[in-house]
């Protein structure tokens, strides 16, 4: 049955091509997902850093050494968190 074999081979080739196209699409979706996740993380870090910088400005205006030390500790913690999140993303 040559005609049946031809149809089967044609279907097998088409399904294999569909499979490869779906794999490519899956990898593209993974790449976009990773970029979005990185953007969300960076946005969160940026928001946190904004509040820390405002706190640093207020502490510097008052020249309160204890407050400056607390703000600097918070600043260092934010950077450590950012480094950890960045290394996780990579």
Residue-level pLDDT, tens digit, the chain, 90 residues:
999 999 999 999 999 999 999 999 999 999 998 888 888 878 877 877 787 778 778 777 877 778 788 877 877 887 787 777 667 666
Q: What is the reported pLDDT for 89? A: 60
Q: What is the reported pLDDT for 86? A: 67
Enter the pTM of the model: 0.54
d(CA 44, CA 35): 14
Q: What is the reported pLDDT for 75? A: 78
Q: Read off the pLDDT of residues 30-56 as tens digits, 9 standing for 90 and up.
A: 999 888 888 887 887 787 778 777 877
Closest of 52, 51, 41, 53 to residue 86, by C-alpha? 41
């Amino acid at each position: 049955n040559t005609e049946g074999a031809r149809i089967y081979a044609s279907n097998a080739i088409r399904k294999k091509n569909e499979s490869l196209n779906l794999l490519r699409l899956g990898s593209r979706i993974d790449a976009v997902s990773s970029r979005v996740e990185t953007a969300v993380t960076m946005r969160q870090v940026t928001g946190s850093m904004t509040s820390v910088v405002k706190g640093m400005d207020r502490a510097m205006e008052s020249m309160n050494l204890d407050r400056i030390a607390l703000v600097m500790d918070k600043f260092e913690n934010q950077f450590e968190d950012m480094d950890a999140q960045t290394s996780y993303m990579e």
